[in-house]
Amino acid sequence: MAGLQLNIQPKKNLLVSTLLPIFYQCRDTDPNTTNVIAKCYHVSQAFPSVTTQVGGSYRLAPNLEFAGYFKFDASEVFNTLTKWTLQDMYSNFGSDAGTINSIKSGKDVVNFFVYVEFYREYLDTTTGLIIVDPNPVKSNTIIVHEGSPDKKFLQQIVPDNGTNIGAFKYFNTLNDVENKVSRYFTNYPIKTSWPNTFSYNTIRRDETYSLMFHAPPSQQNDVCGYQLKIITLGTNNVVLNQHGINIPDTLNTQMIRVGMLDIINGFTPNAAEGTFPQFANVLKYLVSFNGNTGGGTCVYNPVLTIYEFTIDDKCIKNSGYLRFAFKNMLGGFDCVTSNGKYTRKTKNKFEDFEKSLGYFDMYKAMEFGQSNWANQNTERYSVTTHVMKKENAIHFAEMFSSTNVYLKTINNSSQTIIDTEESFEAREQPFWFVPIIIKGATLNVEKSNENYASLKFTFELAVNQRNPRY
């Protein structure tokens, strides 16, 4: 009797997308083998770890073209694990999103370690019964993530001994075998200059920002330690100070908040950085990955994109400022700002009914006949952004394809939209992101300079205001 063999599967600890096929192939040439049963499992990273079955049992019929082969795509099963929102991310940092309780350490966002077991189902020639072999073939443990990589990274199904590390090839910190720079889960424009890969961004002092990346794994006797370094710069790019954010060396996806507001709330400035307003002397800062903080030997030495943030201190009065967050194509969250113009309109929806006057009684002077009983108010915004570099406009437009888009508000109120006349002190108050729905959008390339563009779009608050009923 031939044994069941798993001859194609994702490589161990591979970071794979649940939006692409996750293929497994089994082989069993025994003519009595009728089917193969697949069961999917999720392993929690808590101590002690807990293993939970995901979905049910899936019976795989033999391949009609190639006898003895059984194929299974686990992407849809594991995709049920990878549904999470911006609120899930910020909840890792405390109940108040505007307070950085844990900026000095990274937070696990996704801990989806999974594997598949395959059971041989065969005909017992003695009894004539279909028997399930109780001894399964277990696959490698992989990490699943909901993201849509660029087309050139589509191949993620490789043999266990393969060298291609899959769909998230350049987003996996294990990729140091190719001496390549790993990327954060964002499509924000980058510029490469060996030996560093840079991304240039602008940010206000009252804005938060998050970066997601796949953290290196811990290894036995590995006391390396990992950090993100916040390097603040002043006039003429003089280094003012460095701040460290410790990264747990667990093979998990991490979310780190590195906006200027996050730094203001999370760290104490030194004399060179300035004290009032906070970090007043900081004109730029760099976010870079730093290994070997523990003084040991690093098993993995990942290199991540260096982010350079330039502080935007221009007056925002009457600028039409709006701040958005959205889940990008790679499964991370990006923040973008519009400094153009916007208009706000309230659309009312009326639900009417009519009843007979004087019902069960005499007619009353103030009695309703025809009435509104369940009115709703919908806020709609029409936005024209400022003119920006075309590459930045294309990245901004990625928000229009997202199914998770949010607008920043202050004072934890879904009815308090950031106003252009709000003071900086008001914007320091606790904030939240409320969900919105994009209703239409266009990208307009400048006629005078095709390297620049602006965007026009409309959106509505995803939750309507429901008024008291009749």
Cβ atoms of 143 and 15 closer than 8 Å: yes
Higher pLDDT, 181 or 42: 42
DSSP 297-311: --S----BPEEEEEE
CB 169 within 8 A of CB 175: yes
Predicted pLDDT at 56: 93
- Give the containing element (helix H, strand E) for 445: strand 431-445
Element (H or E) spanning 395, and its range?
Answer: helix 390-397
Residue 307: predicted pLDDT: 87
What does the chain come to in residues?
470
> What's the pLDDT score for residue 457?
96
Neighbour-count burial for 10-47, b at 16+ CB within 10 Å, e otherwise: bbeebbbbbbbbbbbbbbbeeeebebbbbbbbbeeeee
- For the record, the structure tokens of 120 come out as 């041989």
Q: Report d(CA 20, CA 155) in Å as an integer.
A: 9
The model's confidence at residue 81, banded by pLDDT at 50, 70 and 90, is confident
Q: Looking at the whole model, is its pTM more than 0.85?
A: no
CA distances from 211 to 28, 250, 316, 334 (A): 45, 17, 25, 8
pLDDT for residue 163:
41
- Domains in the chain (CATH in brackets) are 5-101+109-168 (2.60.40), 174-311 (2.60.40.3750), 322-356+366-466 (no CATH)
| Rounded mean pLDDT, 426-443 | 75
Question: Would you say residue 452 has pLDDT above 50?
Answer: yes
Percent of the chain exceeding pLDDT 90 equals 26
Give the per-residue pLDDT at 177. Answer: 44
Quick one: what percent of the chain has pLDDT higher than 70? 66
Q: Is the pLDDT assigned to residue 137 strictly greater than 70? A: yes
More confident position, 347 or 101: 347
Work out the average pLDDT over 16-27: 88
The answer to whether residues 301 and 291 touch, using CB atoms and an 8 Å cutoff, is yes
Angstrom distance (rounded) from CA 199 to CA 210: 14
Q: What is the mean pLDDT of residues 38-57?
A: 86
Strands 15-17 and 142-145: parallel
Mean residue pLDDT of the chain comes to 76
Q: Are 247 and 106 in contact (CB under 8 A)?
A: yes
- For residues 401 and 431, the answer to whether their CB atoms sit within 8 Å is no
Q: How many CB atoms lie within 10 A of CB 118?
A: 24
Q: 60 pairs with which residues across the strands?
A: 36
Contacts of 168 (CB under 8 A, 6+ apart): 15, 16, 17, 145, 147, 149, 153, 156, 214
The amino acid present at 396, given as its one-letter code, is: F
Separation of alpha carbons 328 and 405, rounded Å: 9
pLDDT at 311 over 90: yes
Structure-block tokens of residue 343 = 């208009």
Both tokens of 381, joined, read: 């915004």
CB 176 within 8 A of CB 301: yes
